[in-house]
Amino acid sequence: MKLSVSVLICTIFFLNSFAQNNATEAAYRHYILGQNDKALAEINKAVSDSYFNVRAYPWLIQSLILISSFEEENAKRFGNPNINNLKDAWFSLQAAIKRDRSNQYLFQILSNSEKIMLLIDEWSIKHGLSAKIDDRLVLYQVYMEIYDFLKKRNYRNTPNQGIAQYGKILQEEGSTERALNLYNELIKNNTRNPEIYLAAVQIHKIKGDFEAAFETVRKGTAVVPSDNDLLAEAVNIAHYLGRENELIEDLTKLIKSFPNEKGLYFIKASLLSGFNKFEDAILYYKKAIEIDKDFFDANYNLGVLYYNKAIEINEIKTNRNLNPEEENNFLQQRNSYYSMALPYFLKARDLNPNNQSLEQAITLIQNSIKN
C-alpha cells in the first residue's frame, strides 16, 4: 500500500529536514520502499524519544500529521484505521505541551491536535472502535485543560470545534449544564461556529427557557448571518414567543452590515409576508433573487405570494354578484397576479423539476390565463 502523493511529498520534505535523526532516516527509507507500517513504527519511536525536547516540537507536529494521514489512507482503502496509533501520537503531544507550555509552537500543536482528536472521535463512532463515551471523554478532557490554559494566556482564535464536540459528549452522558456552560463560554467570546449557538439553543428549549433560546439565537445570527439553520431557528422561536417584530428589526440592522447575505432578505421577506405586508415582502424576496437568481426558496416563495393574491381575488369574484364589467375587471386583476407568479414558478421548476405541487400550480396558472 502506498501513501497518497501529497502525503509522500510532505513526508519526504519533512524527513529530509530532520535527516540527522536516525529514526527519521529509517522512516524515510521505509517510506521510499512503501513499507508504511515500519515507517510508522519509526515515526512513533522518534516521537517517543524526542517529545521532551522543545526543539523537536515542529517534528512532533509533522509526525502527528503524517501518522493521521497514514491512518486516513488506511480508513479510505480498508475501512480499518488504527485508532491506537493516533491516540499514541496525540497523547505524546499533550505530554510535550504539559511539560513546556511557554514555547512558540503551543498554538500550532493545539490546532493540529484538535483536528486529530476529532478524527479519532469520528472514526471511533464510524468503525465501532473504542467508541465508549468514557474513552472519548479522556481525549476531550485533556484538550479542555489545554484550551483553558490558552484562554488564560489570551490566545486569539483559540480552536473551539473540539469544545463543540466535547459539549455533545457531555450531553450524551447527561451532563447538560456542563455542556451549556461550555457553549456559553464560547458564545460570550463571539464564536463563529453556528453549531455552538444551535446546541445551546436546543438545551434552553429543552429546559423550557425560550427567552434565553431567543437571545442566544439572535446573538448567533448577528455573528454568523450567513447560516440558514440559525436564521430558521430564530424565526421559529420568534414566532413561538410572538416577537417577530424584534427579529425584523434585527434583520434590518444586519442587512445594513451584510448587504450581500441573501438569507437575511429572504427571512425578512417571509416575516413581512406573515404580517400581510405584501409589497414589502415582494421587495425583499426580489432583493434575495438579485443576489442569487438561482435561489430556489426565494423564487418559489415570491411565486406563491403572487399566486395566493390571485387566488384571493378569484374567491372575492366567486362570492359576489358581479355585473359582466366588474367580473371582467376581477379576472384581469387575477390573471395579472398569475402572470407575475408564473416566471418565478418556472424558474423554481427549473431548479427543482420534481416538485409536483409546483407543477400543478404552473398548469393551473397557464389554463386560467388561456381561459
Examine the domain organization and report whether 287 and 312 are in the same domain: no
| Short-list 290, 297, 270, CA closest to 281 | 270
Examine the domain organization and report whether 98 and 118 are in the same domain: yes
Q: Please determine, for residue 53, whether its predicted confidence score (pLDDT) is greater than 90.
A: no
Whichever domain contains 207, its CATH number is 1.25.40
Flag the least confident range among 139-143, 212-216, 337-341. 139-143
Q: In a 3-state reduction of DSSP, which class is residue 194? A: helix
Q: Please determine, for residue 316, whether its predicted confidence score (pLDDT) is greater than 80.
A: yes
Examine the domain organization and report whether 311 and 251 are in the same domain: no
- Bigger pLDDT: 14 vs 316: 316
Q: What is the model's pLDDT at position 12? A: 37
* CB count in 10 Å sphere of residue 260: 11
Flag the least confident range among 69-73, 172-176, 288-292. 69-73
User: In degrees rounded to 5, what are phi and psi of residue 6?
Assistant: -65, -40
Q: What is the model's pLDDT at position 157? A: 54
Q: What is the model's pLDDT at position 45? A: 66
Q: What is the model's pLDDT at position 323? A: 86
Whichever domain contains 285, its CATH number is 1.25.40.10
Examine the domain organization and report whether 191 and 310 are in the same domain: no
Examine the domain organization and report whether 265 and 302 are in the same domain: no
Q: In a 3-state reduction of DSSP, which class is residue 19? A: coil
Distance CA 14, CA 24 (A): 9
Range of the domain at 360: 295-371
Q: If you average pLDDT over every residue of the chain, what do you get?
A: 78
Q: Please determine, for residue 363, whether its predicted confidence score (pLDDT) is greater than 50.
A: yes
Could you tell me where the DSSP H helices lie in the chain? 5-17, 22-32, 36-50, 57-78, 83-99, 106-127, 133-152, 161-172, 176-188, 194-206, 210-223, 228-241, 244-257, 262-274, 278-291, 296-318, 324-351, 356-370
Examine the domain organization and report whether 32 and 104 are in the same domain: yes
State the average pLDDT over residues 91-104: 59
Q: Please determine, for residue 5, whether its predicted confidence score (pLDDT) is greater than 50.
A: no
Q: Please determine, for residue 185, whether its predicted confidence score (pLDDT) is greater than 70.
A: yes
Query: Which of 292, 309, 331 represents a domain boundary (last residue)?
Result: 292
Query: Which of 238, 268, 283 represents a domain boundary (last residue)?
Result: 238
Distance CA 280, CA 278 (A): 6
Q: pLDDT tens across 134-173, in order?
A: 556 666 666 666 666 666 666 555 556 667 777 887 887 7
Q: What is the model's pLDDT at position 74? A: 64
Examine the domain organization and report whether 287 and 303 are in the same domain: no
Examine the domain organization and report whether 131 and 181 are in the same domain: no
Residues 6+ positions from 12 with CB-CB distance below 8 Å: 28, 31
Residue identified by cell 418559489 is 300
Q: What is the model's pLDDT at position 14? A: 44
Examine the domain organization and report whether 253 and 308 are in the same domain: no
| Short-list 209, 239, 233, CA closest to 220 | 233
Examine the domain organization and report whether 50 and 17 are in the same domain: yes
pLDDT band at 80 (very low <50, low <70, confident <90, very high): low
Examine the domain organization and report whether 21 and 129 are in the same domain: yes
Total domain count, the chain: 4
Q: What is the model's pLDDT at position 135? A: 58
Cell of residue 240, nine digits: 413561538
